[in-house]
Structure 1
Amino acid sequence: MTAPTTAERIRSACARAGGAMIAVDGIDPTATPVHHLLCDGSFAVTVPSAGRLAASVATAGAAGVQAVLEMTDYAPIALREPVRSLVWVQGRLRDVADRDVSELLDLIAASDPNPALLQVHSDESRYVLMRLEIESVVAADSTGAESVAVGDLLAARPDPFCEMESCWLQHLESDHRDVVDRLANRLPGALRRGRVRPLGLDRYGVALRVESDGGDHDVRLPFAAPVDDVTGLSQAIRVLMGCPFLNGLRARRV
């Protein structure tokens, strides 16, 4: 495999901090700082307690309301087009019963200690906790759109480097232009005429964005095999760069 599956990309997008909105007919889209996939195939989300959305869901009772969760995966550097991918999760949005809130918050916090969780059902509550029961999931990026089954989403795991990716890409962009240039040498000649930027990094390879007068193009440079740790990642990048000194070896002084 030379690239993450769509389900893996969605799980990584969920794990990274990013923009997420809940949309319901007749109500302006509402920001949700927490969007956590649960093992039963639903999303736990938080919405402002004083907003129209919270009131609408409360009024609907057990029936809930039809809603769409939109998650946006932004590039961590200043690209002309910063959106790398979009994920749309359609389903039924319902309140979480008061008796279940504390247990669910603890469950979420165990893997995603989001500060917004402290503002749910507290003395100075800003958010209420809800559950979006998934009916469909669609992801889209520069290659197109694809739907994903809930079972595949639950079976997938986030990329092992997804939480560190932003810092690494920013570091490449600001301090290691030489590395980006050497990776760019692997591109077809026609694409080297534009400005090559680091776009993504995962266990399967490196993604580059080429910004040119003729438009933007995304290109993946796959590793020879998937990697699982920082040492393997460093070696795989060195191979892509054409560096002969692997495993920390250095040229011998003459």
Structure 2
Amino acid sequence: MATISAPSTAERIRSACLRAGGAILAVDGAEPETTAIHHLLADGSFAVTVPSGGVAAGLRHDDGDVQAVLELTDYAPLPLREPVRSLVWIRGRLRPVPQSEVAGVLDLVAAEDPNPALLQVGDSDTLLLLEADSVVVADSDGAEAVGVAALLAADPDPFCAMETSWLRHLESAHRDVIDRLTRKLPGPLQHGRVRPLGLDRYGFRLRVETDAGDHDVRLPFAKPVDNAAGLSQAIRILMGCPFVNGLRARGR
């Protein structure tokens, strides 16, 4: 069986949903509004929160189907020349949540993502449900549509919540790791400015900034990993480090 070397599109979207700190909800006939919560529920709908004083918060059950688009932006953990890694658009029908069901929906979201923004619901924010009809992601490789069933079957990357802090630490304190990984790149790219772009259970992504433009390169691990210990070993193997099993060099 061939080894999987990159996350599926559905996995990437699930990770982007968890990682994105904010999003924009556009409702037909109104200005876009910010939403702090955008969580996929088990029935395939997205729980979203909007400012209580906005147009979307004023939806009523007898308004019928209200078309809306939720746009998520996945930013790189580091300040790059082109900081956006991908965009996700979720188009569907927006509806209010009955007051008697709000607490239950919030509990479902909090069980998987205890976001402090949930505490604003009922005060400055209002909870809505977006019943997704289509989901599209676009990045440097192009655009692709993903079905809601595929999203429900996928999981976010196990390291996506820690990715930002890890890559920032790598950039600031372990430049030697980036230098070793740079040697894995095609010759012409080794002379550009190489920065950490992404880290997931399948491998590293590097951004190479050159005068001719930016290039994104994936360096896959030998096999997918699921925990910090496996990740550490996979990175050592990828670097070509001889002490992959925790051995230490002999003292002189």
Bin the TM-score by the shorter chain. over 0.9
1:31 aligns with 2:29: no
- What is the match of residue 156 of structure 2? 158
Distance 1:127 1:75 in 2: 27
Q: Tell me which of 40, 46, 50 is aligned to 1:47.
A: 50
Counterpart residue type for residue 220 of structure 2: P
Report the equivalent of 1:167: 165
RMSD: 1.1
Q: TM-score, normalised by structure 1?
A: 0.95
In the alignment, which of 184, 187, 191 is matched to residue 186 of structure 1? 184
Displacement of 1:248: 1.1
Q: Partners of 1:38 and 1:85 in 2: how far apart?
A: 22
**Greater Cα offset, 106-115 or 85-94:** 106-115
| 1:201 paired residue number | 199
Range that drifts further, 211-220 or 108-117: 108-117
TM-score, length of structure 2 as denominator length: 0.96
- 1:224 corresponds, among 209, 222, 230, to 222
**Does residue 13 of structure 1 match 2:11?**
no
Q: CA deviation at 1:169?
A: 0.5
> Which amino acid counterpart does residue 63 of structure 1 have in structure 2?
G
Distance 2:192 2:138 in 1: 24
Amino acid at match of 2:54: G
Task: Give identity over the alignment, percent.
Answer: 68
CA contact (8 A) 1:23 1:29 kept: yes
Q: What is the aligned counterpart of 2:132 among 129, 134, 144?
A: 134
Maintained 8 Å contact 2:28/2:66: no
Deviates more, 1:43-52 or 1:22-31: 22-31
- Measured in 2, the distance between the counterparts of 1:19 and 1:93 equals 18
Q: After superposition, what is the alpha-carbon deviation per residue over 1:147-203, rounded to whole angstroms, capped at 9, x for unaligned?
A: 001111000001111111011000011111111011011000111121000000000
Structure 1: tracts of 5 or more residues without a match: none
Q: Which residue of the partner structure matches residue 174 of structure 2?
A: 176
- Counterpart code for 1:42: S
Letter in 2 for 1:93: L
Which residue identity lines up with residue 67 of structure 2 in the other structure?
Q
Q: Shift of the alpha carbon at 1:62? A: 5.2
Alignment partner, residue 113 of structure 1: 114
Letter in 2 for 1:23: A
CA distance in 2, matches of 1:51, 1:149: 30
CA contact (8 A) 2:20 2:72 kept: no
Q: Which residue of 1 aligns with 2:25?
A: 22
Equivalent position amino acid for 2:128 in 1: M
Aligned 8 A contact 1:64 1:95 in 2: no
Matched positions, count: 249
Q: Is the 8 A contact 2:195 2:207 kept in 1?
A: yes
**Secondary structure in structure 2 of the residue aligned to 1:239:** helix
Task: Write the distance in 2 (CA, Å) between the matches of 1:221 and 1:235.
Answer: 15
Which amino acid in 2 is paired with 1:222?
P
Distance (Å, rounded) in 2 between the aligned partners of 1:101 and 1:19: 21
- Is the Cα–Cα contact under 8 Å of residues 84 and 141 in structure 1 kept in the other structure? yes
Q: Residues 19 and 73 of structure 1 are in contact (CA less than 8 Å); yes or no, is this contact kept in structure 2?
A: no
Give the counterpart letter for 2:83 in structure 1: P
Aligned-pair CA distance for 1:3: 0.3
Between 242-251 and 207-216, the greater mean CA deviation after superposition: 242-251
Measure how far apart 1:77 and its partner are.
0.8
For 1:149 and 1:214, locate their aligned partners in 2 and report how far apart those are by CA, in whole Å. Answer: 36
Paired letter, 1:43: F
